[in-house]
Amino acid sequence: MPYFPQNDPKFNYLRHLMLLYGNAKQPWTAEALKYYVAHLNPEGVADDWLFDSFLFLNSKSASGNDYCADVNLGTTMSGEGNFFAKCSPHPANRKDYDDLLDFYLGQRGAVDALEESVELLAERIPEKYGHKRNVVLMLPYPHITQAAFGEVPGVTKSSDFTTQNQNLAQATVQRLEAMRWFVDQIAMRWNEKRYQHLNLLGVYWMFETVYRGWDVDDHWLLKELRMHIRSRGMKFLWIPFWSSYNVHILDDYQNYYFDLAFLQPNYMFYKEGKSLEGAADAARERNAGIEIEYYLELNEPIAIEGERQARFREYLNGGVRYGYMTEAACAHFQGVGSLARMHSHKDPIERELYEDIYRFVKGLYNGKPPIPRKR
């Protein structure tokens, strides 16, 4: 079985999907987004198109409540150290969901800024960009710790996602109702906007695994939610971390949960036990795409901090060696704001990697010698 292919017409010819982490208190602007929409020459002039697809996601609301499913109570980012995750004790509520919709699709929201950026760049770049740029929007996680979500339209009382005073099926139905409402809001607001340069490809499930236990049933939730998403003309996307359990879920994922999954190799974050070749083989065998990982800095300590440039070069070279540069739909994690700063970074290696990313996305990267690891 091949990778999930690039240029699938059912996915509006998606090739490279950029993850754009947002800040609820700092709106996206057309100026900030231009670094992802277009390649800039050394003088900062846009001369070619870059990413064709964009995933907007936020982990925390302006109120401080979490959109992401879990929080890490440990001191390291990877499972090799003191990593301890649990479902957030500060779950997002109905007000936070409304705020996220406004962040995406409100006046001067993230998608408005992307439309403006493409519009401006289309006037400067001689070559036409081709198919409309794809947009994917993250769904907030309906936390099993949320006992007072607020009212969902059509429901007469505040929703409760917990099993404190009800059984698991009752709690899961209420979680599903909130998710269906959120998806409907995305579809309705998008249709009102009538964007000229953008295509709403779908929505994204941020939690990187799928659980079922005494107080959670994400398996049933996802199967039911996917049917609703598809009824609204959208696709359902997922980016799981590489583990034997997640790979097992990917064995038949397109018949149950998601329309497109990108497997994370996690090679950027783990000192041992991760293999680009192994992840590429696992993705290829399951009709999945691949995520490419990089960052300039993160808020959590990483055991292989000094190896990030060397490992990223290996990611890029792996795209040639294992074929995913041109054969697989690729997602790109680069932390927050990395690409914009790499363009004019004082470190010549970062500037070189900026150009390497451009050539990789265009399918023109040929591989380069390894970058020495820093110890």
Per DSSP, the residues of 191-202 read HHH--SSEEEEE
Q: What tokens does 228 get? A: 């609703």
Q: What is the pTM of this model?
A: 0.96
Amino acid identity of 252? D
Contacts of 296 (CB under 8 A, 6+ apart): 335, 337, 338, 341, 342, 350
DSSP state of 326: H
DSSP state of 150: -
CB 283 within 8 Å of CB 258: no
**Alpha carbons within 13 A on the beta-carbon side of 135:** 22
Residue 155 forms part of a structural domain: yes
Residue 103 forms part of a structural domain: yes
For residue 95, give the CATH number of its domain: 3.20.20
Q: In the chain, what is the greatest distance between 2 CA atoms, to the nearest angstrom?
A: 63
pLDDT in tens, 283-308: 999 999 999 999 998 776 677 888 99
Q: What tokens does 87 get? A: 């479902």
DSSP state of 4: P
Residue 3 forms part of a structural domain: no
Which residues are paired to 217 by β-bridges? 212
Where the chain has pLDDT below 50, the residues are none
pLDDT at 81: 66
d(CA 200, CA 12) in angstroms, rounded, equals 9
pLDDT in tens, 79-125: 566 666 789 999 999 999 999 999 999 999 999 999 999 999 999 99
Amino acid identity of 61? S
Q: Which structural domain, as residue segments, surrounds residue 193? A: 9-361
Contacts of 249 (CB under 8 A, 6+ apart): 209, 210, 240, 257
CB 180 within 8 Å of CB 116: no
Q: What tokens does 372 get? A: 């020495």
Domain count, the chain: 1
Neighbour count for residue 256 (Cβ, 10 Å) = 13
Residue 375 forms part of a structural domain: no
Residue 289 forms part of a structural domain: yes
pLDDT at 71: 77
pLDDT at 175: 98
pLDDT at 80: 64
d(CA 48, CA 72) in angstroms, rounded, equals 39
The burial class, CB within 10 Å (0-12 / 13-18 / 19+), for 132 is: middle
Closest CA to 352 of 309, 318, 290: 309
Residue 195 forms part of a structural domain: yes
Residue 371 forms part of a structural domain: no
CB 250 within 8 Å of CB 276: no
d(CA 34, CA 89) in angstroms, rounded, equals 36
The CA distances from residue 130 to 33, 52, 118, 122, in Å, are 18, 9, 12, 11
Closest CA to 241 of 210, 213, 272, 217: 210
pLDDT at 94: 98
Q: What tokens does 123 get? A: 């006037």
Closest CA to 265 of 287, 232, 288, 249: 288
Residue 252 forms part of a structural domain: yes
d(CA 365, CA 358) in angstroms, rounded, equals 8
